[in-house]
Chain A
C-alpha cells in the first residue's frame, strides 16, 4: 500500500546547474582577506528564495556547491512546460487569460520582494491541469543581477528591447522587463506559435530591436510577420488593449503586475484567487521541503543524478591544471568553455527509492494523535517506530524515523504555544535536524510578536562597538557557507547591533558573535527569530555574563567548575590543583560562549539540544565531560602540556560528551552548582539553600558545599552511596546525629594530617568508602574553628 499523500503531483522536484564566476587566484579584498567565492555569495542570497511560497511559483529547496564554483539549484518541478504545448494544443481564450492571471500573480509576489525574474519564457512556465507554476525565476536575483556569473541571464526572445539597449550585463533590475515578457508569452499562446523559431540568434535580436521603430501596434506587427493576422483580428478588444499596453516600448509606461491584475478582463479569477490565498495558510501535514529531506535521507543524491544525466562530467583533474602559473599567482590556460557555464536542462529527481522506503507507512501515521483521552481513539494511534537505543547519528539519518519525528513535531509546533509541554517532552528524546530552529524557538518560549519587536530596534546607527563587531564577524565560524556569505555577515552584524542596542545593561564581549552563530544558522531566513532566540537564551543560560564587569560572575562560575571537578573526579582535581592548572587559563571561552567558540557548529547543535532542556549549570557539566575525555592525558601531563592541549583542543567526541554531561547533570546535587549570580527567575529557592558564601571563600574551598536538603535527598534515595562524617565533638554527636554517620571530632585530627590511617578508629571505614560521596557535617562551632585554622 502506497500512501497517496507522498505521490501528490506537486511533490516533485528537479535541479539545474551553472558555474559562478571564478575569482582570479589570490585576489584580496580591501581588508586583505581573500574575496568571498561567488558561489558562497549565491548560496547566501538563495536562502531568501526558499521562503517564497505561492501556488504559482515552484518552491526553492536547496543550493548545493560543487567543485570549482559549480552551483546546483534544487527546486520544485511539476507539470509540463508551456512551450511543449505550442503548435500542438491551442488554448482557449479563457485558458490563456487564466494563465496570464496566474503568471502576473506570481510575478507580483516576486516584485513585492524586489526580485525580478528576467528569465521568463514559455519553457519555464509549467502547466499542470489548469494551473501554472513558474520555474527558475530566481536565477537573476541569486546571481545578484547576473553579476556573479559569466553568462548572461536572459531569454533572447522574451527580453524587452531595453535589455539589449542597456547592455546585457549592466542593467539594473527593473520589473518592467517581466511585464514585457508576459506580453510575448501571451502572443505566443494566442497565435499558438513559437515566435521567430526559424531565425538565428542575431536575427531574432534584430527583430526585437526593430520593434522599437514600429509606429503601429507591436502585437499586430508580430501577428503579420507570422502570417496570423486573422487570429489577431479575432482577439477581443480588451485583451488586445492589455497586450498592447504591456508591450509598450517605453518601460516606464508599462503597467505593473498589480495594475494588470486589477484589469477587468480578469474579473472571473479575482474572487477565486482570494480563497486560494487562505488555503495556503492552512496546516500542511508535511511540505515539499520535508519530502526533499526524506528523499535525501533515503539515499537521494542530486549530484549523482546530475552526473547520471550527463550534466556534470568529471574529467581527469590533470586536464584542468593550468598550463602556466606565474609566481604572482596568475593562471594561464584552461579557461572554462563559456558554453558549459550554464546548462539550460532540468533534471527531474526520481522518487522511487523514497516511495519504496516508505511503502509500509500506514496512512494513520500521517495523523499522529497527540493528546489521547479515550481508549477507542487511542486504538487508532499509529505504531511507534522503534528506534530506541540507536545512536543519535543513526537516528538522524534514518528516513522512517525522521518521517515520524517530523510529522509529529510539525503537528506540535502548529499548536505552539499550547503544546509547549509536549514539545519539551519530545525534545528530550531527540530533535529532528530539519525542524531544529523552530523547536529551539519553542523551547526558548519565543512569543509570536518577535518580528515587530525586532523591527523596532536600531540596527544601523554608528556605535563604538562597531569596529569590534566588524573585525569579529569575518572570523566567526567561516567554514560554514551560510555564515561566510555576504548575506550572513550582514545579518550577523544587524543582530549583534540590535542586541547591544536593546541590552544597555550589557556590552558586546568578543564571543557574542559565536554565541549568535547557531541561532542565525538555524534561522537564516528569519533574522528576527534568531535575535529572539539569542535574547531569550542569554538571560536563561548566561545571565550577567555580558556585564561590563563580569569578573565576579565568571569567577564564581569557574570556582564552581573547579568544585564540580573535585566532586566527580577528585584525582583529576588534585592533579590539576598541584600543577596550578586553573580553569581561568582555559575555560573562559568555554563558558562565556557556552562552547560555541570552541566547537564547530554541528557539534554545538547537539550540545545545545540538551542545554536548552537543562539549566545554566549544564555548561559546567559539558566542561567536565571534556576533561573526562582527556583525563588520561591530563593526568600524565604537567602544566605546559595541559595548557597546550587546550590551546589546540583535540577532537572531542560530542556524543560522548552529551551522554557524560547528562549523566553528571542528573547525578549532581543542585546545591553544588547553585550560584549567587544565577537568574532568580529560573531557580526555585528553599530555606536550606546555601547563601552568603563570599567569592573569595568560594575560590578557596576546593570541595563544594552541599545543602542540607540535598544530603537528606541523597540519604533517602541512595543511602549506600553516601558517607556522612560528623566533625562535632563527641558529646554533641552522642546527643543526636544523622543515622549511619560516623564521628571524627574536628579537634582529634591535625590539619596537616594527610594519611587516612591516622584519623583514628574510623579510618578503616574511610578507606573503604572511596567510591562514596563523603559529606562532612558540622555546626557553627566547627565552622568557626575551620576559619581560625
Chain B
C-alpha cells in the first residue's frame, strides 16, 4: 500500500490529508515539517499538502539502507553465532577543499540526510561516521571534515595522514576553488599514503546555471590523475551517496584484522603511522 501510494505521488503531487491522514503521518516520520503540517489537519478540514521530498527519499535507497543497517548493527551483527555476519570494514576518509565549497554539507547529507542552508563554518575539524552496505560487506566510514581556510592548512596533515580515502571538493560556480582542489590533490599525492583513493567532487551542481568550471575540464583532470570524479549537490542530494559508494567500491577489502576499534583509530590519527604502513587493512 505504502509503496503504491509513493509511486503514484511521484507523478501527482497533491496529497489530500483528509483522506490519508494516518498514512500521511506514517510517511513523514523522517521529515519533521511535513509531519507537523499533517498533524494540523484536524478533524474535518480539507487541505492540500505536498510531499515534495518524498521522491527524493525513494531514489536515495542507499540512505534508507544505511539507517536500517545502523539500527541493526548493534543487535544482529554482533550475535556470537555470526549468523548475519558479513565482512565489516572501517575506512578513514578525509574531506579537503577551499572553504564554503560544501564539504560539511556533503558530510551532513551523507550521514544524516539533511541540508542546512546556514551550515556553520568548520573550525579545526569535525568527525562523523557512517556505515553503508556493499554487497556482503559493511563499510564504515570514519569521516574527517576539515576547515577550509588556507590558514588551517597546517592542521590538515594530522587528518589526512593514514587516511585510506579523500574527497577533494570544489565549487563548480567558482574557478578558484577548482585551482585549490588541484593543489590539494598534488599534496595528497606527495604526502599521503600512496594507495589513498582520491575522489574529486564538483559540488553545488544545482547551481549549474552559474557554472564556472566545465564538467569536461574537471573530468579530464580527474582522468589524468586517476581520480574518481562526480559532480554533486549537497542541496538536492545528487550523487552524494554515489560518490561515497564509488569510493567504497574502489577501496581494497581484504581480510586482515587490525587493532580493536576506537583506540586504534585514535593512535593512527595521532601518530600517523599505522595507516601509512598498512593502508586499507582495517577489515576485521
Distance between B127 CB and nearest chain A CB, rounded to angstroms: 4
* Interface positions of A (Cβ within 8 A of B): 30, 32-34, 316-319, 321-327, 329, 467-468, 471-472, 474-476, 478-479, 484, 507, 509-511, 513, 548, 551, 578-582, 584-586, 588-589, 592-593, 597, 637-644, 646-648
Mind listing 23 A-B residue pairs with CB under 8 Å? A32-B206, A33-B117, A33-B118, A34-B117, A318-B42, A319-B45, A325-B13, A327-B50, A329-B52, A475-B120, A475-B121, A476-B120, A484-B118, A507-B151, A548-B151, A551-B154, A584-B124, A585-B127, A589-B123, A639-B265, A640-B127, A640-B265, A647-B128
How far apart are the CA atoms of A584 and B123 in the complex, in Å?
Answer: 11
A319 to B41, CA, bound (A): 10
When distances are taken between beta carbons in the complex, the residues of chain A under 8 Å from B47 are: 318-319, 321
Given contacts A316-B42, A471-B100, A641-B262, contact A588 B127 (CB under 8 A): no
Q: Among the listed B46, B118, B127, which residue makes an inter-chain contact with A647, where contact means beta carbons less than 8 Å apart?
A: B127
B48 touches A638 (CB 8 A): no
* Chain A neighbourhood of B74, CB < 8 A: none
Q: A579 touching B152 by the CB < 8 A rule?
A: no
Task: Check if A639 sits within 8 Å of B123, measured CB to CB.
Answer: no
- Picked from B49, B152, B266, the residue with its CB within 8 Å of the CB of A510 is B152
Q: Which chain B residues border A319 with CB–CB below 8 Å?
A: 45, 47
- Name the distance in Å between B158's Cβ and chain A's nearest Cβ: 7
* Chain B residues with CB under 8 A of A548: 151
B99 touches A325 (CB 8 A): no
Q: B129: which A residues are within 8 A, CB to CB?
A: 640, 644
A647 in contact with B126 given A321-B37, A479-B118, A548-B151 (CB within 8 Å): yes
Our pick among A468, A479, A639 for the contact of B266 (Cβ within 8 Å) is A639
Specify which chain A residues have a CB less than 8 angstroms from the CB of B152 in the assembled complex.
509-510
Query: Distance (Å) between the CB of A152 and the closest chain B CB?
Result: 32
Closest Cβ–Cβ distance, residue A259 to chain B (whole Å): 48
Query: Closest Cβ of chain B: how far from A469's Cβ, in Å?
Result: 11
Chain B's closest residue to A316 (CB) is B45
B66 nearest CB across to chain A (Å): 16
Complex Cα distance A589/B151, Å?
14
**Distance between Cα atoms of A478 and B120 in the complex (Å):** 9
Chain B proximity of A64: nearest CB distance (Å): 22
Q: Beyond A585-B127, A597-B123, A640-B265: 14 further Cβ-contacts under 8 Å?
A: A30-B210, A32-B210, A319-B47, A322-B48, A509-B149, A510-B99, A584-B124, A589-B124, A638-B261, A638-B262, A638-B263, A644-B129, A647-B126, A648-B128
Complex interface: chain B residues within 8 A of A597 (CB)? 120-121, 123
CB contacts (< 8 Å) of A472 on chain B: these are 99-100, 121
Minimum CB distance partner of A593 in chain B? B123
Closest B residue to A28 by beta carbon equals B207
**A510 pairs with B147, CB closer than 8 A:** yes
What residue in chain B is nearest A510 (Cβ atoms)? B149
Q: Is the CB of B249 closer than 8 A to any CB of chain A? A: no
Q: Which of chain A's residues has its CB closest to B207's CB?
A: A32
- Is the Cβ of B125 less than 8 Å from the Cβ of A585? yes
Contact in complex: B123, A511 (CB < 8 Å): yes
Minimum Cβ distance to chain B for residue A185 (Å):
46
Chain A residues whose C-beta falls within 8 Å of the C-beta of B206 in the assembled complex: 32
Question: For the complex, what is the distance from the CA of A510 to the CA of B100, rounded to whole Å?
Answer: 11
- In the bound complex, residues from chain A placing their C-beta under 8 Å from that of B235 are 32
Q: Is A478 a contact partner of B118 (Cβ separation < 8 A)?
A: yes
B65 in the interface, Cβ–Cβ < 8 Å? no
A-side contacts of B151, CB under 8 Å: 507, 509-510, 548
Closest 6 A/B residue pairs (Cβ): A638-B262, A580-B266, A639-B262, A471-B100, A588-B124, A589-B123
Bound Cα distance A578, B270 (Å): 12
Residues in B with CB closer than 8 Å to A316 are 42, 45
Contact B263 A579 (CB under 8 A): yes
CB distance from A768 to the nearest CB of B (A): 32
Contacts of B246 in A (CB 8 A): none
A325 adjacent to B48 (CB under 8 Å):
yes
For A647, list chain B residues within 8 Å (CB): 126-128
Which A residues touch B126, using CB under 8 A? 647
A329: chain B residues within 8 A (beta carbon): 52
- Interface residues as binary, B108-150 with A (CB distance below 8 Å gives 1, 0 otherwise): 0000000001111111111111000000000000100001110
Contacts of A321 in B (CB 8 A): 37, 47-49
- What is the distance, in angstroms, from B203's C-beta to the closest C-beta of chain A? 10
**How far apart sit A579 and B269, CA to CA, in the bound complex (Å)?**
11
Complex alpha-carbon distance, A619 and B45, angstroms: 54
Known: A324-B14, A471-B99, A580-B267. A510 touches B123 (CB 8 A): yes
A478 contact set on B, CB distance < 8 A = 118
Q: Determine the distance from Cα of A578 to Cα of B263 in the docked complex, in whole angstroms.
A: 8
| Residues 1 to 43 of chain B near chain A (Cβ within 8 Å) | 13-14, 37, 40-42
Whether B204 is near chain A, meaning CB under 8 Å from some CB there, is yes
Complex Cα–Cα for A327 and B155 (A): 44
- A604: shortest Cβ distance to chain B, in Å? 14
> What is the distance, in angstroms, from B219's C-beta to the closest C-beta of chain A?
22
CB distance from B171 to the nearest CB of A (A): 9
Which residue of A478, A513, A646 has the most chain B CB atoms within 10 A of its CB atom? A478
- Cα separation A642 to B14 with both chains bound (whole Å): 45
Complexed CA–CA distance, A472 and B99 (Å)? 9
Chain B residues, Cβ within 8 Å of A585:
124-125, 127, 269
Min CB distance B264 to A, Å, is 8
User: Whole-angstrom distance between the alpha carbons of A467 and B40 in the complex?
Assistant: 44
In the complex, what distance in Å separates the CA atom of A513 from the CA atom of B120? 11
With most chain B CB atoms within 10 A of its CB, the pick from A30, A327, A507, A584 is A327
Q: A32-B207, A475-B120, A475-B121 are in contact. Are A325 and B266 (CB under 8 A)?
A: no
Chain B residue with Cβ nearest A548: B151
Q: How far is the CA of A702 from the CA of B247 in the complex (A)?
A: 40
Contacts of A479 in B (CB 8 A): 118
Which of A324, A476, A586, A643 makes the CB contact (< 8 A) with B48?
A324
State the CA gap A640–B129 with chains docked (Å): 8
B15 CB → nearest A CB, Å: 9
Contact B266 A579 (CB under 8 A): yes
Q: Which residues of A contact B176 (CB under 8 A)?
A: 467
Chain A residues with CB below 8 A from B52, complex form: 325, 327, 329
Closest partner residue, chain B, to A584 (CB atom): B158
Residues of B within 8 A of A510 (CB): 99, 121-123, 147-149, 151-152
Distance from B181 Cβ to chain A, minimum over Cβ atoms (Å): 15
B90 nearest CB neighbor, chain A only: A640
Cβ-defined partner of A580 (8 Å) among B14, B121, B270 = B270
**In the complex, A323→B126 CA distance in Å?**
43
Smallest CB separation, A555 vs chain B (Å) = 11
CB distance from A771 to the nearest CB of B (A): 29
| Most B Cβ at <10 Å: residue of A323, A474, A510, A548 | A510
| Cβ B121 vs Cβ A327 within 8 A | no
Assembled-state Cα–Cα distance A639/B14 (Å): 47
Bound: A597/B13 CA distance, A = 40
Rounded to whole angstroms, the CA-CA distance of A755 and B102 in the bound complex is 52
0/1 interface trace, chain B 251-283, chain A, CB 8 Å (1 if under): 000000000011101110110000000000000
Contact between A580 and B48, CB atoms less than 8 A apart = no
**For residue A317, which residues in chain B have a CB less than 8 angstroms away from its CB?**
40
| Interchain CB contact under 8 A, B42 and A580 | no
How far, in Å, is A672 (CB) from chain B's closest CB? 24
In angstroms, Cα B89 to Cα A771, docked, is: 44
- A382–B49 CA distance with the chains assembled, in angstroms: 61
Query: Inside 8 A of A326's CB, which chain B residues have their CB?
Result: 13
- Complex-state Cα separation, A33 to B234, whole angstroms: 12
Q: How far is the CA of A586 from the CA of B266 in the complex (A)?
A: 13
Which residue of the partner chain, among B121, B173, B204, contacts A476 with CB atoms under 8 Å?
B121
Q: Do A318 and B123 have beta carbons less than 8 Å apart?
A: no
Residues of chain A within 8 A (CB-CB) of B154 are 551
Task: Give complex CA distance A616, B46 in Å.
Answer: 60
Q: Which residues of B contact A589 (CB under 8 A)?
A: 123-124
